Amino acid sequence: MQRFWPCVAVAMVVVVVTAAANKFDQVYDTDVHIWPMPKSVTHGESNQKVYISIDFEFNIDERSKYSDVGGILKDGFNRFLTLVEMGHAMDPSFKPPPSGSKLKGINLVISSPNVELQYGVDESYNLSVPAPGGEPYAQLEAQTVYGALHGFQTFSQLCQFDFDTRLIEIRKVPWSIIDQPRFSYRGLMIDTSRHYLHMETIKKIIDSMAYAKMNVLHWHTVDSQSFPLEIPSYPELWKGAYSLSERYTMADAAKIVSYAQRRGINVMAEIDIPGHSHSWGIGYPNLWPSKDCTEPLDISNEHTFKLINGTISDFRKVFKFRFLHLGGDEVNTSCWTNTPHIRKWLEAKGMNELEAYQHFVLEVQDMAISHGYEVVNWQETFNSFGKKLSKKTVVHNWLEGVASDLVVEAGLRCIVSNVDAWYLGPVETPWQTFYENEPLTNIKNSKLRELVIGGEVCMWGEKVDGSDIEQSVWPRTAAASERLWTPLEKLPKDLNQVIKRLERFRCLLNQRGVAAAPLNGLGRAVPEKPGSCFVQ
């Protein structure tokens, strides 16, 4: 028996290795493993491969109207190269690929010279990757540089390090991809009041958003707990920060805006007023109704509105996005009615509590509009006084259920973030819920559907900081990103058709240094046992 044992052992090893190899191949040979799924994709057979040349380059075609004076395209291409190399050492001398199978570079045609990044910018692109023996250049065409950046992201997901040749390979060529987003607003909210987030943490969040083709970072800058952002016109405001080091200068904010813009991401700032405002009074106590009743902000004090106007003016110099979020949620007006001087003011104005709340919101809306902004307000403002909001208002729906139909029937635009599906804080909300949340629920009229500008997942900061924000955000945000990017008819109703592709994207995020959590548990879950990234 001892004489035959080695043979049995060898056979067992061969079986195990073969099975592992087959399983490995299955990870990369699924029909399409791009996330989010493009509008249209065609590809070749599994055995058709090309390899990225060690000196892979990009060329701006002479037909292009964009010359990349600011270097946005060059920076995007360099990030693309970093992503596809995946930290491995390419070695073209190790095992040279077959003749005619090298891809020398990518040609780009960008139709518009305009580099302004705003809501509604054209983000479409067409990408083609040739088969071996054909034209040795991929082709990327886009209306704007921001569409081209999305094209780079898709291209990077086609690439994989080949351990046999020690080169970057692209399987299933030729590829032909036609793509554009379903919604123009695809947001992620972060909260720097409940816990301070360091600049590098915010940059990492921006990078990861670009991987999933999200395009708006909603920055909830301040809240009751802290006021970390410098307001040059009113420098005492950031006395409300947690500490001297947990603050942002306006130059820091401009740096974040620029960093995001070069990745195709707008930054929408939020000042949440008149409630959620205790921290404002640390530096300016006269903003409080009284020292014992500190929010909402004192509506009877002219200085309150002068200070808000100055804050918006300072914001306008840095936050160039079309929209400014003015909050307006969870306003408990009891401080107004219980404070003698405010109660007296209300009586003189002939206002009740609801009318005072309306007056405050509309007054600040007018200020923001005078500075060139369109306004976003949380859903409570619509629920309280509906059509009296400015027509330039976008209602941010966050209460349970998708209530967009009521907003659009009133002729207002809206963003969907319902708490039961697109809030990241409740770790028990699984990725499947994020994926199945449909922003256009209950809206049948095609014209009214156009008033839903998109959706946003919200990462409130009570239980996250730099140590756990990434695994709280990912991969559940990716589930929402596909809902917001991919045409409705392309979204599978059977989530078994989604999970393998999402598992691969989660592993890709890990590979790129993003601490995305496994899919098999709750938000911020950890791996349950030893095993491949692709089955966790």
User: pLDDT tens digits for 307-329?
Assistant: 999 999 999 999 999 999 999 99
The per-residue pLDDT for 4 is 30
| Cβ 36 vs Cβ 53: under 8 Å | no
Asked which of 144-148, 159-163, 295-299 is least confident by mean pLDDT, the reply is: 159-163
β 137-142/125-129 pair status: antiparallel
pLDDT tens digit sequence for 190-238: 999 999 999 999 999 999 999 999 999 999 999 999 999 999 999 999 9
The per-residue pLDDT for 247 is 98
The per-residue pLDDT for 27 is 54
Render 426-479 in DSSP notation, one character per residue: -TTS-HHHHHH--TTTT---HHHHTTEEEEEEEE-STT--TTTHHHHHTTHHHH
Q: Which of 212, 274, 64, 135 is nearest to 508 (CA)?
A: 212
What's the rounded Cα separation, in Å, for the pair 536 and 529? 9
- CATH 3.30.379.10 in the chain, residue ranges: 40-179
pLDDT tens digit sequence for 432-459: 999 999 999 999 999 999 999 999 999 9
- Choices 3.40.190.170, 3.40.50.180, 3.30.70.260, 3.20.20.80: CATH for 185-490: 3.20.20.80
Please give the positions annotated as active site. 330
The per-residue pLDDT for 19 is 39
Q: Given this structure, which CATH class describes domain 40-179?
A: alpha beta
Q: Averaged over 356-377, what is the pLDDT?
A: 98
Task: Assess whether pLDDT exceeds 90 at residue 403.
Answer: no
Beta bridge partners of 290: 293
Task: Assess whether pLDDT exceeds 90 at residue 28.
Answer: no
Task: Assess whether pLDDT exceeds 70 at residue 370.
Answer: yes
- CATH 3.20.20.80 in the chain, residue ranges: 185-490
pLDDT tens digit sequence for 53-110: 999 999 999 999 999 999 999 999 999 999 998 889 888 888 888 888 999 999 999 9
Q: Which of 275, 311, 307 is nearest to 293 (CA)?
A: 275
The per-residue pLDDT for 11 is 35
Task: Assess whether pLDDT exceeds 50 at residue 333.
Answer: yes
pLDDT tens digit sequence for 484-531: 999 999 999 899 999 999 999 999 999 999 999 999 888 998 898 999
